Structure 1
C-alpha cells in the first residue's frame, strides 16, 4: 500500500499590524505589505488615507527590509476622491476652498502633511515595490512613483491629471518622474494628462517589469526575495549612493563611493563602529 499524500496546510495569513481608513499593513518576516483596501471606489485617495499611509510607514518594525505597496480590486488608485473638489469637501477636513483661504503658512503646512504619506517609501533602509494593476491616476501615479521599483500588470495605466484640473502634481511625484523619463516626456505626460500604457511605462523606465495579472503576486515575491538576498547594510549604502546622484557632481559622487566602500570594508573586517 502507498502512503497517503500529506495534507498541505494553507499558508498562514499574517495578522494586520494596522487596518484603518483604507490602508492595511501586514508584516511577514522582513517584508511588509501596505494595501489600499477600498476597491469599490477604486482606492481613491483622501487626507484620511494619506494620514493612514503615513502611520503605516511609522509602524514598520525595524526588521523590515522590503515594503510592497499594492491595492485590492481592479485599480491601484484612481487618484484624488472627487469630493475634494466640492464646496463641502470631506467630513472633518478642510475643503479646497478652505485651504485656499488659509494663510500661506497654513496652506504650506497642510500640503506638506499630505506629502508625508509619499516620503517614507524612499527611506534608505528600505526598498519599496509598487505592485500596480489597472488605473494609477494622479495621486495614484504619484504613490507608485514614491516607490523605488514598480511592477505593472499588462492592463496598468498611468496618468497625471492634475494639470488638466487646474492644479499641479504636488505629492512628490515630479522629481522621480523627471528622473525616470526626462524633462520633455515628463512635461508632455503632465500637460496632456494622457494615459501611459504598461508597454510604454516599461520602455521608458517607469516600470521595472510588466507581467500578466495572474503573475503579479509571484513576480513581487521573486523580486522581494532577490532584494533580501543582498546583505542589508550593503543594500542600504548602495541605495543611498544612487539616491544622491542627482544632487552630487561627478567628483562628489566618487568621494561618496569611496566613503561608502571604506565603511563596508571595515564592517566586513569587523572594524566597524
Structure 2
C-alpha cells in the first residue's frame, strides 16, 4: 500500500501509510496537541486500522509541541464536552472506573506490538499524557528543544497511561521516582544521556533523522526483527536460564523458516 491519503483523520489524530511505514500525527497544534478521551479512542482506532504491511509506526505532533498533556478542561467539574468529568468517573463503581482507565490505555498499548517498531518524534513539550505517549513507543528521537515532564503526581494523580513500566525500564527506579515525584522538566540532552531518548538532533533535522531510523529498521528481515523484539521485551521478566531457553526456541524457528521447513 502506497498512499499519503489519510486512512483515518478524526478527533486530533491522522493516520497515513506509505509502503511499510505508518505515520500517526497529532493534529491540534493550536492547543499544543492536548489530549482527550476522544483522542485516545482515535489512537486506538488508528492501531486497529493499520494494514498488515506496516512494519514501522512514526508518532509525531504538528506544531511546536509533541503533546502538552491532557486538556486542562478535563480537570474542571464540567469536564470536556461530551465526556464524563473526572468527578463523574470517581462516582462510578470500581469496575466502571477500571474499565474507563483501561479504555484510555488502549490508545497506547498497541504501539508496543511485537510485529511493529514504533518511533516517537518529539519536539517541544511532552508533558504528562504526552510524555506517556512518547514512552509507549519503542524508540524516541528528540529535537534539541524537547522537554519531558510527568506532572500527574503534582496534580494528586498517578501516571496511568502505561508510562510507568517503560520509564523505570529506561532510567531505573530511583530516577523514575524523582522525575514523577518532582514533576520537573527533563531536557533533551538529559533524555539522551540517561537513555530516555535514543537520539537527539537539531529541531530542523528531526524528520530526516526519523526517516533514516525507519529505513534502517526496515532493512532487517521482518520475522527476525519480530523475534528479536519479543526476546528483548520479555527478558526482564525471565531468569537467565529461561531467557537462554527462549533464545534457543526463537533461533530454532528462524533456522527452520530460512530452510523452508516451518509450518
TM-score range, shorter chain: over 0.9
**1:92 to partner: Cα distance:** 1.6
Distance 1:183 1:24 in 2: 34
Distance 1:14 1:112 in 2: 31
Say if 2:188 and 2:200, in contact at 8 Å, map to a contact too.
yes
Alignment of 1:64 onto 2:49 = no
Q: Between Structure 1 and Structure 2, whose CA radius of gyration is higher? A: 1
**1:49 to partner: Cα distance:** 0.2
Say if 2:3 and 2:16, in contact at 8 Å, map to a contact too.
no
TM-score by length of 1: 0.95
Structure 2 counterpart of 1:93? 83
Alignment of 1:182 onto 2:135 = no
Structure 2 counterpart of 1:32? 22
Cα displacement string for residues 88-131 of structure 1 (whole angstroms, at most 9, x for unaligned residues): 10122110000110000000000000000110000000000000
**1:13 to partner: Cα distance:** 7.0
Structure 1 counterpart of 2:237? 247
TM-score by length of 2: 0.99
Instruction: Give the 3-state SS of the residue equivalent to 2:4 in structure 1.
Output: coil
Cα displacement string for residues 58-84 of structure 1 (whole angstroms, at most 9, x for unaligned residues): 000000000000010000000000011
Distance 1:174 1:205 in 2: 15
Structure 1 segments unaligned to the other structure (5+ residues): 1-11
Alignment of 1:147 onto 2:137 = yes
Distance 1:46 1:25 in 2: 17
Structure 2 segments unaligned to the other structure (5+ residues): none
Alignment of 1:214 onto 2:204 = yes
> Which deviates more from structure 2 when the two are superposed, residues 183-192 or residues 246-255?
246-255
Q: How does 1:163-178 map to 2 (within 5 A)?
A: 163-178=153-168
Structure 2 counterpart of 1:8? none
Distance 1:237 1:209 in 2: 24
Q: CA RMSD in A?
A: 0.8
Structure 2 counterpart of 1:7? none
**1:193 to partner: Cα distance:** 0.1
**1:260 to partner: Cα distance:** 0.1
